[in-house]
């Protein structure tokens, strides 16, 4: 039976870490640490579970199914088209790409410009035009250059993080400030919800196929062995991610300054200045700019390839151009605004993704006719998540008194209760409805 060597397992674990670790994995734990203060360890624990934990869960679910497409098709062919499309829009021009472009400006250019007046808005516009022109230049003809940049950049970022952490240990010990709401009341839960922002759990549906193809190339056909390897890859990457999050959150918690900040980019900038002076700001600016550029090139390339497959009438080059233009426009909203918009969108996608992961893992225990379980559970979770978004964005929480009657809703997890009801109803339907050929082996 064909197996991977220990060296290969370690290599692919580091590869997965490189695929998941981006600029967002730096700024969100930094903000979390600063806001959580003396509750930093509880909050970062929730963050790790949500980020690394859900990514591992996604890989296992895809391994059980075979591919992400098979898993999504268990709900319906329409869902198998719309859900990946929504994920690609989120990790593409809707959120991740413009967020990276805006973050590159915040960390690479803005610190050296006046913070008020026309210079700030004009600077962002000029920067995004140049930035996404460079992204277009590289993405229109994909090469190994992006991979090489990523392989060089990730170790440099890790070395920088560790160096800054060691430097911080020699600073005068100061007590951590008091946590602010909601990190004061529910640090673990708030940290878990913050973990959505990295989008690593959603990326599992995109990256899972890469490892499925890897097993095909390596001729590893044993399903239990595949799952074992995916867990190993996930644990290796998860340990690396966790170490980074603990260090970054700790640095954010130690950054004591008056007032509040909108996002972790500012926290990191302050930390680097406090530890390394102006040289730290310059170094961080360079690293963030290159990191964000590499991430954007990779995401534009992946999204363009996907959209070319789905909408073949538009060529790859045209998709690259459309993605760059759209991402540039969204990036000009500014990082703070992008982060505000991302909360309701990810709040809608993540419950559906987590539910699909759990169903995929439990698939062998479902009724022989399992489609009703998938359909009813996913629909109920999706509708409830949509209702939450409408309530919070359009009605400003007007229906909160009614929604809070649902168990777990106080902590933001009412969808679990709704999903559990859907699971029970779907299981009953799967047992009493005639089997039309859709079994739990599909």
Instruction: Convert the pLDDT of each residue in 396-417 to its tens digit.
Output: 889 999 999 999 998 889 999 9
Cα within 13 Å of Cα(273), Cβ side:
14
Model pLDDT, residue 151: 64
Model pLDDT, residue 387: 95
Pairwise CA distance, residues 41 & 33, whole Å: 8
Model pLDDT, residue 210: 66
Q: Helix 200-217 crosses helix 335-361 at what angle (to 10 degrees)?
A: 50
Model pLDDT, residue 76: 93
* Three-class secondary structure of residue 10 per DSSP: helix
Asked whether the beta carbons of 349 and 356 are under 8 A apart, the reply is: no
Residue of 225, 222, 243 lying closest to 233 (CA atoms): 225
Rg (CA), the chain: 22
Model pLDDT, residue 129: 94
Model pLDDT, residue 277: 79
Model pLDDT, residue 130: 94
The CATH number assigned to the domain with range 6-334 reads: 1.20.1740.10
Instruction: Specify the pTM.
Output: 0.84
Model pLDDT, residue 1: 67
Q: Which residues of the chain have pLDDT under 70?
A: 1, 114-121, 142-154, 157, 171-174, 208-210, 212-213, 256-263, 434-442
Domain ranges of the chain: 6-334, 366-441
Model pLDDT, residue 441: 45
Length of the chain counted residue by residue = 442
Pairwise CA distance, residues 430 & 424, whole Å: 10
Q: What tokens appear for 396 in the block?
A: 């400003």
- Interacting residues of 57 by C-beta distance below 8 A, sequence separation 6+: 201, 204, 354, 357, 358, 361
DSSP character string of 248-307: HHHHHHH---SS--SSHHHHHHHHHHHHHTHHHHHHHHHHHHHHHHHHHHHHHHHHHHHH
Task: Please give the span between the terminal C-alpha atoms of the chain, in angstroms, as a whole number.
Answer: 25
Residue of 195, 354, 240 lying closest to 12 (CA atoms): 240
């Amino acid at each position: 039976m064909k197996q991977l060597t220990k060296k290969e397992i370690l290599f692919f674990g580091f590869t997965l870490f490189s695929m998941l670790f981006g600029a967002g994995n730096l700024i969100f734990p930094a903000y979390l640490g600063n806001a959580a203060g003396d509750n930093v360890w509880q909050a970062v624990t929730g963050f790790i579970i949500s980020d690394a934990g859900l990514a591992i869960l996604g890989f296992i679910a895809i391994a059980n199914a075979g591919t992400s497409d098979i898993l999504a098709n268990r709900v319906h062919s329409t869902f198998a088209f719309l859900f990946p499309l929504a994920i690609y829009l989120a990790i593409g021009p809707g959120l991740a790409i413009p967020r990276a472009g805006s973050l590159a400006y915040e960390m690479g250019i803005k610190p050296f410009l006046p913070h008020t007046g026309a210079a700030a808005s004009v600077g962002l516009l000029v920067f995004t035009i140049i930035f996404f022109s460079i992204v277009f230049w590289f993405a229109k003809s994909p090469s190994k250059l992006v991979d090489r940049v990523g392989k060089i950049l990730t170790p440099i970022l890790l070395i920088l993080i560790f160096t800054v952490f060691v430097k911080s240990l020699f600073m005068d010990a100061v007590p951590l400030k008091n946590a602010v709401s909601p990190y004061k009341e529910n640090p673990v839960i708030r940290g878990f919800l913050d973990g959505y922002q990295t989008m690593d759990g959603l990326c599992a549906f995109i990256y899972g196929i890469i490892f499925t193809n890897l097993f095909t190339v390596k001729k590893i056909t044993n399903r239990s062995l595949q799952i074992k390897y995916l867990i190993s890859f996930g644990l290796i990457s998860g340990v690396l991610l966790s170490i980074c999050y603990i260090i970054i959150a700790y640095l954010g918690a130690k950054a004591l300054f008056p007032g509040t900040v909108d996002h972790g980019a500012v926290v990191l900038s302050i930390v680097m200045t406090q530890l390394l002076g102006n040289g730290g700001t310059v170094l961080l600016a360079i690293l963030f700019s290159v990191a964000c550029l590499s991430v954007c090139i990779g995401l534009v390339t992946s999204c363009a390839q996907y959209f070319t497959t789905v909408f073949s009438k538009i060529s790859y080059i045209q998709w690259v151009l459309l993605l760059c233009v759209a991402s540039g426009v969204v990036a000009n909203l500014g990082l703070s605004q992008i982060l505000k918009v991302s909360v309701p969108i990810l709040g809608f996608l993540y419950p559906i993704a987590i539910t699909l992961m759990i169903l995929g893992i439990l698939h062998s225990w479902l009724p022989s006719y399992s489609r009703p379980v998938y359909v009813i559970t996913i629909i109920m979770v999706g509708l409830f998540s949509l209702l939450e978004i409408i309530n919070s964005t359009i009605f400003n929480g007007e229906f909160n008194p009614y929604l809070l009657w649902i168990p777990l809703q106080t902590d933001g997890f009412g969808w679990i209760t709704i999903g559990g009801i859907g699971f029970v109803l779907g299981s009953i339907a799967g047992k009493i409805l005639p089997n039309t050929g859709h079994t739990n082996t599909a």
